Amino acid sequence: MSEPTSRRKDAHLDLCATGEVEPAGASTLFAQVSLVHDALPDLAVEDIDLGTRWMGKRLRAPLLITGMTGGSDRAGKVNRELAAAAEKCGIAFGLGSQRAMSESATWAESYRVRDVAPNTLLLGNIGLIQAQKLGPKGCLGLMDRVGADGLCLHLNPAQELTQPEGDRDFRGGLELVRALASELGEKLVVKETGCGISPQVARRLVSAGVRNIDVSGAGGTSWVRVEALRADRQAARLGEEMAAWGIPTAAATASVARAVGGKAMVIAAGGIRSGLEIAKALALGADLAGAALPVFRAQQAGGQAGAEREIEHLVQGLVRALLLTGSRNVAELRKKPRVVSGELSNWIGSLAEVP
C-alpha cells in the first residue's frame, strides 16, 4: 500500500474520532422497542449469566468490538489497545480491513495483536472486491498471518460509490461468498459496514453457506458520511444526499434473525451505544452485538483503560436490562414480552412481505 493510502487510513481515524459521522437523519430505531419492566424479579445480579460460545471460544458477554483499522502506525496502536481491552473484558475483537497488509508486508505489524490478546476470539477482515482478487486461499492466508479465529468479509457498496477512487463493479459477489464459505465454513462472517443486511440478502448468504451475519445497519457510523466529509464538492453533495441510507439496525436485526431461523449467528451492530440497546437487539433475535465507534472514541480519550471502561459500561447496562426484565440469561430474555412500535413495526412488516 502506498504512503498516501496509509495517510487516508489516518484521515478516516481523525474523522471518526471527532467528526459528525453519525448523521442525525438516520436512526437505529431501537427507541421503538420497549422491554417490559418486571417489578418483582426473583433474581440477584450475580445470577445473571451473559456467557456465550462462538467459534469454539467462550465469551464473558455476547459482545464484539467490530473491525476498524490497520495499515498505519497509529492504526497499529489502536488495534493493540483495543485487542488488549477485549482480552481483559472477555469479549471478541475484530481487526480492520487487512487490505493494507495484503498489498505491502510493511503494514503487517499494525495488525499484530495476538501477543496482547492470546485468548481473545479474534477476527480478520477483508472487503469483497479485495477478496475477489485474493481468492479463498489468499483470504485464508490473511487470517492465518494474524492468528485469527475467523474472517469478516465486509460489504460496503454505498461507501465505495461515495469514494471518488472507490469500486464501481460489484458483480460476482455471491459466487465469491459461496467459495469463501466452502473454504472457511463457520469461520466466515459476512458483514455490512453501516447500511445493513436485509432478510432477502441474508437468505442468499445462508443458501451460499454463510453461518455468521453481522447486520451493521444504519443509525451509527455512516461510511457514506465519512467519505462525503473527505470528498470534493461534487462527490460530497452526492454522498450527503445518501448519508442516512440504509436499513435501521433494529429492523435489520429482527428481520434477519427471523429470515435465517437459527441457521446463522446474527450479530447486531451499527449504532449500538448502550447495554439496554444490546438487550433490545438480543430480544429481537440477535446472538451477539457489536460496537465500533464508541469503543474507538473511548480508546482515543483514555487508551486501553478507557476502552475497558466503555466495554464494562455496556456489559453493566446489559446486566441491568436482564435483571429488570426478570431474565437470568439471553434465552429467558427472548421469551419475555416486548413492545415494537411505529416505524420499526412498519419496517419489519414490509421487509417480511417480500420473499
Ligand X SMILES: Cc1cc2nc3c(=O)[nH]c(=O)nc-3n(C[C@H](O)[C@H](O)[C@H](O)COP(=O)(O)O)c2cc1C
What cell does 299 get?
480508546
One residue of 212, 216, 253, 304 binding ligand X per CB under 6 A: 216
Find the binding residues for ligand X in span 268-287 (CB under 6 A): 269-272
Find the binding residues for ligand X in span 107-146 (CB under 6 A): 125
* Other beta carbons less than 10 A from residue 323's beta carbon: 17
One residue of 212, 221, 255, 304 binding ligand X per CB under 6 A: 221
Q: Is 66 in the site for ligand X (CB under 6 A)?
A: yes
Give the nearest distance from C-beta 185 to ligand X in angstroms: 20
CB 239 within 8 A of CB 195: no
One residue of 122, 291, 307, 340 binding ligand X per CB under 6 A: 291
Q: Provide DSSP, 249-281.
A: HHHHHHHHHHHHTTSSEEEE-SS--SHHHHHHH
CB 70 within 8 A of CB 101: yes
Q: Is 150 in the site for ligand X (CB under 6 A)?
A: no
CB 91 within 8 A of CB 60: yes
Find the binding residues for ligand X in span 223-242 (CB under 6 A): none
Closer CB to ligand X, residue 194 or residue 239? 194
What cell does 75 get?
492504526
One residue of 150, 194, 196, 239 binding ligand X per CB under 6 A: 194
Q: Which among 152, 144, 178 is positioned nearest to 97, based on CA atoms?
A: 152
Give the nearest distance from C-beta 329 to ligand X in angstroms: 24
Element (H, E) at 68: none
| Residue reference for cell 482478487 | 133
Give the nearest distance from C-beta 111 to ligand X in angstroms: 11
Q: Is 67 in the site for ligand X (CB under 6 A)?
A: yes
Residues forming the site for ligand X (CB under 6 A)? 12-13, 16, 66-69, 96-97, 125, 152, 154, 191, 193-194, 216, 220-221, 269-272, 291-293, 296
